[in-house]
A and B are shown apart, each in its own frame.
Chain A
Amino acid sequence: MSKKGLIVLLVLVSVLLLSGVVNGQKERVVSLPFWDVPGLIPYYWQAQHILAQGTIFEGLFGYAPDPGGLGGVKVVPVIAQSYRVSKDYKVWTFKLRRDKKWSNGDPVTARDFEWSFKYYASPKIPDLPAWAGPHQFIENFWAVKSGAMDPDKLGVKALDDYTLEIRLATPRYDMREWLCVAQGVPIHRKSVEADPQNWWRPGKIVVNGPYIPVSWTPGKDMVLVKNPNYVGERGNVDKIVLKFGGLGLQQYMAGELDAAMINSVAEYRFVLADPKLSKEFHEDVMDCFWNGYQWSRGFDPIMDNIKLRQALAMAIDREKLCKDVLGGRAIPLNKYWPDRNPIGDKMKGIPFDVKRAQQLLAEAGYPGGKGLKTLVFYITGGGDPVVEFIVDQWKKNLGINVIIENVESGLYWNSYVWPNFSPDAKAGFTVIGAPMNNLEIGALMKNSDHTVWFYDFPTSARKKRHELYQEYDAWLRKTCGLTEADWKPLLEKRNTLYAGFKKIIDSEPEKLWVADLTRPPLWYDQFDELYEKWKTAKTNEEKTNYWRLAGRVLTDQEGFQLWYNNLSPESKQAYRWRYRTINRPFSEAVKIAHYALQLMQDRYYMVPVYLAKAQWVKSPKLEGLMLYKFSWGPGFFNFKYLNLKD
């Protein structure tokens, strides 16, 4: 071979080798377990909302890892560069980064946000789960959503390409936190308008996050690749394969996954006993939940007895439960937030004190459990070892009989666990896993504020409140209101309620609460306006409608006054603290949330028992895996921080 030929050959070999090496290093693929994603529209409350939070979409703000923070995250600006907020926390103005791009190369601008938010609010999406996003607080949102107002009137405006103004209906101190969630992300206008039904399918979807979905099979997997137009911090992973379902640990052991959640005590023990897996094992506490029980939402006066409630809460050996029943996959929890947490550290727990519990039970009128009727613990889905343990503890420690009743799942969750009231429920309990859906100030209460709304007033008042809820709905079906005579009882009631309202306003010491109650439009102004409209209404249909709406306004106010006037002093105080908490920035709210929480916890209607641990194994080569600790968790999310070591 000639010298020239040899050189050409060497160059070719080098290029081939080099390209092989480069390719080998280039394609960094990570396979992870994920929730089964049924679609990619970000605003629906489905698995994709987790994917939309920082992986395929980004909003003005997002989550970054913070091991010491609530939920293990902190809020950081992503598309927002800076912001300012008006003194009353109702007008938020954001300056956007100028370098952010969609995956097709288009710039991400304030106009994308304006259009998207108006699109989400429009009646074009009648089933938007508005409770899951920030739009519910934006000025005119509810009027726009109901179709009564044009979407253009929504309080969102791009002042220029890179300045966005959001006007709120009421002050919100946690808009930054709310803007992290999936409904806070923009979608790409041109692609949505080009194909409103299918814009979100892989191959068509235009995203602004670090990864683009390129294939998706529901029930099986989704493949994401790096977005070449993404600007911002991200790891070195080129391709992510999200696998839905399957045997996670076995997939991991077979080398098909780079991380897997541990789903049972058996798996946990197996992993700990395995020399290799035990080194790859990790765990964290799911601090955004609390797991325990709540009293049923029925109307049995037995639950009005606080000493009975307290006795039951104190008679559970939570340590034993976590060790023997939950196999070490949970920590005992006797307060809504755990220890070593900015809120939990300031709270006092419910002690495990059988003697004190027995004494309280006797003081409640049931010494040794005698004279107390059999209570019912509602569960769903077959056996529940935690409930069996609790029931056994109550029997053993207090002599109380509780039977376990299995209820169909849909009925259980929607008629026993989460509704305001359950008229059919017998005296007893349901389990409750109260979660935070996302970081927001109200959610710091982790649903324990249901104590204030639905529990802590006498049974007779609870029952009346339930009847008023029903009456409120019934007004829509009433057929009357055509004559002045129909208005007479309403006008009388209006005046009585007005007197009651004035009394509340004048006596309530918490200014924030008063400010909220007196914020226009006031209920009596609404009533008077409806009455005036009725007078000039032309058709019978219109007349009936105004009369109905006026009746609803009064029923709503009557419900409020009944609630306010019957609420226990402790819960009223808790509500005042709740007001103080939600009326300050998130970081400040965290510092005082314990006051309201403690007061509500000490009513013993909603009782914490344990906190689950998230446990997983992961390849030592994989870094930057973020645990999702909110209500869909545990799982992994926000994959932009993933790094694969060579």
Chain B
Amino acid sequence: MGLVRYILRRLFTIFVSIVVVIIITYILMWLAPGEFFNIAQFQASGGRVATLTPEQLQVLIKGFEEKYGLNVPLWKQILNYLKDAFRFKFGPSFSNPNEPIEVQIARRFPVTFTLAILSMALAVIVGIPLGVIAALKRNTWVDYITMFFSMAGSIIPAYTIGVIMVLIFSVWLRVLPTSGWETPKQMIMPVICVALGPMAVIARFMRSSLLDVLNQDYIRTAYAKGGTDRAVIMRHALRNSLIPIVTIIGPQLAFLFTGTVWIENLFRVPGLGQLFVNAASMRDYPLLVTSTFILSLSVMLMNLLVDVIYAFLDPRIKYE
């Protein structure tokens, strides 16, 4: 019951936080220089709008503001947005008036979700053993090589690695398609590219966390009681060293939902990243607010999930 109460309390906090985040976003948007209509149409028209008479321009501005609900006071705009947003109704975006944002998200979310989960799974499956090996063989060439590659994975942009992979596997060897997101073959390169960053982070965290645990008294006690390396590490060290890893996996996963834009463009993966990053670069305010909403919600829910998982990993943690 304690856990359920804790989750309900946290969900309420999340709700309040989201409301505050949206209010701040709206106010920032409102304070930013430039009229909404101009932002959406001036650049697009390539100066053509300037040739309209003031009356004609007024008609267009009025219509535009009507379509996007900008013809009411700011507080009402925020209220209307929040009312709809918590029902996952976001209305149309400036850059895509064809269909509501929720339809665009619904189409793209499964793709991003799959990409994020597959990439994170790969990052965990490879990153944790790499970190363990590096920790167990610390200050040997194995450690240095492992850490070198994990460092390289985090500093070389995924986009660059993606281009190199396309050249090798698609152009020269012709064993993988350059892009797409339908067959498992098409998923290989994007998943690897997205996984490299988190994989490197996980490996480094795992290494330091395991080294920290291995120096604890209870590990010495386990060895003193005659435990083998394998038994001590698997039974005592690994589980406890996983706690910091869980902490970083949650937010990493949330950011993967929007942080894969370059990879999506490169490999023509129709995910959320493209949508949300374009929102910022094109000042597509309805989409910008919605991406803030989705990203905030994802990070907060992931953090909640991580906190709940703590309880299962570490019996000392109790939620009141």
Contact = CB atoms under 8 A, between A and B. Distances in A.
Interface stretch (A53-61, A413-421, A458-466, A530-538): A413-421
Given A253-B171, A442-B51, A243 B64 contact: no
Residue from B38, B47, B107 whose CB has the most chain A CB atoms within 10 Å: B47
B177 A256 contact: yes
B96 A39 contact: yes
Contacts of B63: 123, 125-128, 145
B281 interface: yes
B266 A246 contact: yes
Contacts of B59: 130, 142, 145-146
Nearest to B99: A39
Interface string A120-151: 00010111111110001000001001100000
Nearest to B62: A146
A251 interface: yes
A22 interface: no
B34 A415 contact: yes
B46 A220 contact: no
B194 to A, nearest CB: 15
A41 B267 CA distance: 26
Residue from B55, B108, B177 whose CB has the most chain A CB atoms within 10 Å: B55
Contacts of B224: none
Contact of A131 (B48, B167, B268): B48
A254 B34 contact: no
Nearest to A448: B47
B47 A220 contact: no
Given A145-B59, A218-B107, A41 B98 contact: yes
Contacts of A38: 95-96, 98
Interface residues of A, number: 62
B166 A250 contact: yes
A406 B168 CA distance: 37
A246 B268 contact: yes
A217 interface: yes
Interface in B244-268: 264-268
A565 interface: no
Contacts of A117: none
Interface string B88-109: 0000000111110000100110
A131 B177 contact: no
A434 interface: yes
B220 interface: no
A414 B34 contact: yes
Interface in A593-628: none
B211 to A, nearest CB: 40
B170 A250 contact: yes
A41 B98 CA distance: 7
B174 A129 contact: no
B240 interface: no
B271 A219 contact: yes
Contacts of B271: 219
A89 interface: no
The number of chain B residues touching the other chain, given as a range, is 35 or more
Interface in B29-73: 32-35, 38-39, 41-52, 54-56, 59-60, 62-64, 66-68
B282 interface: yes
B117 to A, nearest CB: 19
Interface in B6-41: 32-35, 38-39, 41
Contacts of A128: 63
A442 B54 CA distance: 18
A131 B49 contact: yes
A244 B270 CA distance: 9
B181 interface: yes
Residue from A131, A221, A420, A447 whose CB has the most chain B CB atoms within 10 Å: A131
A45 interface: yes
B293 to A, nearest CB: 20
Interface in A238-257: 243-247, 250-251, 253-256
Contact of B48 (A39, A145, A437): A437
Contacts of B281: 409
A434 B47 contact: yes
Interface in B140-195: 163, 166-167, 170-171, 174, 177-181
B209 interface: no
B34 A129 contact: no
Contacts of A136: 52, 56
B34 A142 contact: no
A631 B45 CA distance: 9
A394 interface: no
B50 A453 contact: yes
B180 A220 contact: yes
Contacts of A255: 174
A220 B174 contact: no
B236 interface: no
Nearest to A247: B166
Contacts of A311: none
Contact of A126 (B67, B108, B266, B269): B67
Given A38-B98, A145-B59, A219-B274, A410 B283 contact: yes
Contacts of B43: 413-414, 417-418
Contact of A46 (B96, B107, B274): B96
B51 A131 contact: yes
A556 interface: yes
Residue from A38, A44, A221, A450 whose CB has the most chain B CB atoms within 10 Å: A38
Given A220-B269, A410-B282, A129 B45 contact: yes
A411 interface: yes
Contacts of B104: 218
A409 B283 contact: yes
Contact of A217 (B44, B55, B270): B270
Given A145-B59, A254-B171, A410-B39, A221 B44 contact: no
B178 A247 contact: yes
Nearest to B285: A410
A219 B269 contact: yes
B250 to A, nearest CB: 26
Interface string A213-238: 00001111100000000000000000
A48 to B, nearest CB: 8
B33 A45 contact: no
B46 to A, nearest CB: 5
Residue from A123, A217, A450 whose CB has the most chain B CB atoms within 10 Å: A217
A442 B51 CA distance: 10
A132 B48 contact: yes
Nearest to B54: A472
A398 interface: no
Given A125-B63, A132-B48, A247-B266, 11 more contacts: A39-B97, A40-B98, A126-B63, A127-B63, A131-B45, A145-B59, A219-B274, A245-B274, A251-B179, A254-B166, A410-B39
30 contacts: A39-B96, A39-B98, A45-B44, A126-B66, A126-B67, A131-B48, A131-B51, A218-B104, A218-B108, A218-B270, A219-B264, A219-B275, A220-B268, A220-B270, A246-B265, A253-B171, A254-B166, A254-B178, A411-B32, A418-B42, A418-B45, A418-B50, A419-B38, A419-B42, A434-B47, A437-B48, A447-B46, A450-B50, A453-B50, A469-B54
Interface of A: 36, 38-41, 44-46, 123, 125-132, 136, 142, 145-146, 197, 200, 217-221, 243-247, 250-251, 253-256, 409-411, 413-415, 417-420, 434-435, 437, 442, 447, 450, 453-454, 469, 472, 552, 556, 631
4 nearest A-B pairs in the assembled complex, by CB-CB distance: A39-B98, A219-B270, A126-B63, A410-B283
